[in-house]
Amino acid sequence: MKKTSLNQILFVLFSLLSGYFFLQMLVSPPLQMPLYSAALALLIAAGVLVSLRVFAGWRRLVAVPLFLPGFIIGYLVGTVLFLQPLPHTPPPVVELPANKAGAGFTAVVYFTHGEPPTYEKAIPAWKHTIQELDEDGVPFIPYPLRPFFFNAIRGEFVKAGGSHHNAIHSRTMLKLEQMMSSVHPDLRFYLSFIDDHPHPDEAAAQAVRDGAAKIILANVFLTESSHTQEGEEMVAGLNLEQLGIPVCITYPLWNSDHLIDMFVQQSEQVRRNIPREKVGILLVAHGQAPESDAIYPKQTKQETDFRLAIRSRLVEQGYLAQNVSLAWMEYREPTPQDGLRSLLEQNVELVLVYSSSISAEGIHSTYEIPEMLSEVELPAGVRLINLGAWNDHPLVLQALAERIEACLNP
């Protein structure tokens, strides 16, 4: 092979690999990113050196335009490989225990959203979300630009120091189990997530293997949504009723008096000696795309009705209706920034911010919403306190216990 031909092949190869390594630099875990950055820099340098051999004189001016097609192809191939759809996981095998001694307890499958603690563990969860949006026909970032979305998510995880979402739910479940065990000693709790393992069907199958005679799927969600539907379908796929194991599904919490009261109680505790008429409260719902309303018609209405109920309860306590602002984190308006600006126009002295739809602190409540609100300059003397998600507040435990009691005493 001629030396010129070999240099041309190397030039094309370096351009392809540069695009691929650029993709990996965008989406790789934080500790791997510097390695891909260094490799990308070396490949580009090697491409420049080879181009000096392939092209002479003025022809070197076309080296960069010729390098770009290979770079783009390498990037797109890497994007396709990275965004491969998640394989369908068959439901777990349900095995009845061979020895039923001591069996017959009721298993509560504590079912919630889930957010893995690190970016690399969250990658499958985000792929699952994007796949779900695509299947539902909801517009999202154009396919070739999606690696930049993952790059932004990685940055949020790094800046937020990871997510404690799952750990908080684990703590909440343990407190709930302790609270209910004094009255119902035959209850056993199993943690499950839609966006992490174990999934609700995996938790339910494990409960059956342990000897459960009844399953309660406890929805730790605010609304009826794609998440609750998917979890219910997972458990339904186990066909437990055919094995003589009844399944009861609890109702989401949007109309729970206990949960609504939590916002009033927290506001009262935090405002201290500031008059109620000088307190602004920003209730930030999650929001879903308008295109999803036709598929999951209850989520938007229930998020809205929930916040209106909180506002009414706050007004009963002496807060001003115009000082309770409703905003949406995604897809809808007003935005959190708009909601905060409207409160500042009321000359409040204190603004309390709630991620009203989020069950436990995560990237949304600890990083994204505060980042949005940081765009709004606060007047001198005005304080803003981010009270975040529900977490393991005692009234959250009571709300969940009430729903589970409805399954225990139908």
- Residues 292-307 have pLDDT tens digits of 898 999 999 999 999 9
According to the model, what pLDDT value does residue 103 have?
A: 64
Name which of 7-21, 57-71, 181-195, 389-403 the model is least confident about. Answer: 57-71
Q: Does residue 289 or residue 390 have the better pLDDT? A: 390
End-to-end Cα distance, the chain = 81
Cα–Cα distance list, 251 to 112, 114, 171, 185, 204 (Å): 13, 18, 21, 23, 18
- CB-CB contact of 389 with 361 (8 Å): yes
Structure tokens at 3: 């030396």
Q: Residue 41's pLDDT is what?
A: 92
pTM check: above 0.85: yes
d(CA 262, CA 253): 12
Residues 6+ away with beta carbon under 8 Å from 228: 219, 221, 252
Q: If you average pLDDT over residues 59-84, what whole number do you get?
A: 83
What's the average model confidence in pLDDT over 129-153?
92
**Residue 139: left if φ>0, alpha if ψ -120 to 50, beta else—which one?**
beta
pLDDT of residue 86: 81
How high is the pLDDT of residue 173? 98
Task: State the average pLDDT over residues 327-346.
Answer: 96
pLDDT tops 50 at residue 50: yes
pLDDT of residue 58: 53
What's the rounded Cα separation, in Å, for the pair 272 and 248? 42
- By CB atoms closer than 10 A (0-12, 13-18, 19+), residue 374 is exposed
pLDDT tier for residue 141 given thresholds of 50, 70 and 90: very high
Helices and strands per DSSP (H, E), number in the chain: 14, 8
pLDDT at residue 65 tops 80: no
Share of the chain above pLDDT 70, in %: 93
pLDDT at 99 over 80: no
User: 28 pLDDT exceeds 60?
Assistant: yes
pLDDT confidence band for 1 (50 / 70 / 90):
very low
Say if CB 218 and CB 140 are below 8 A apart.
no
Instruction: Point out the least confidently predicted range of 125-139, 304-318, 371-385.
Output: 125-139
The predicted structure's pLDDT at residue 91: 85
Q: What is the mean pLDDT of residues 107-121?
A: 96
| pLDDT exceeds cutoff 70 at 84 | yes
Residue at 118: amino acid letter: T
Q: What is the pLDDT of residue 47?
A: 75
* DSSP output for 285-305: E----GGGGGTSTHHHHHHHH
Residue among 310, 332, 330 at smallest CA distance from 319: 310
As a whole number, mean pLDDT of residues 76-94 equals: 89
At 63 the pLDDT is 60
pLDDT of residue 48: 75
Average pLDDT over residues 43-68: 69
For residues 108-116, average pLDDT: 96
Starting at the edge strand found earlier in the chain, the sheet holding 247-249 runs 187-193, 106-112, 214-219, 247-249
Contact 245, 215 (CB under 8 A): yes
Segment holding 350, helix H or strand E:
strand 350-355
Chain mean pLDDT for the chain: 92
Burial of 338 (0-12, 13-18, 19+ CB in 10 A): middle
| Band of pLDDT at residue 59, cut at 50, 70 and 90 | low
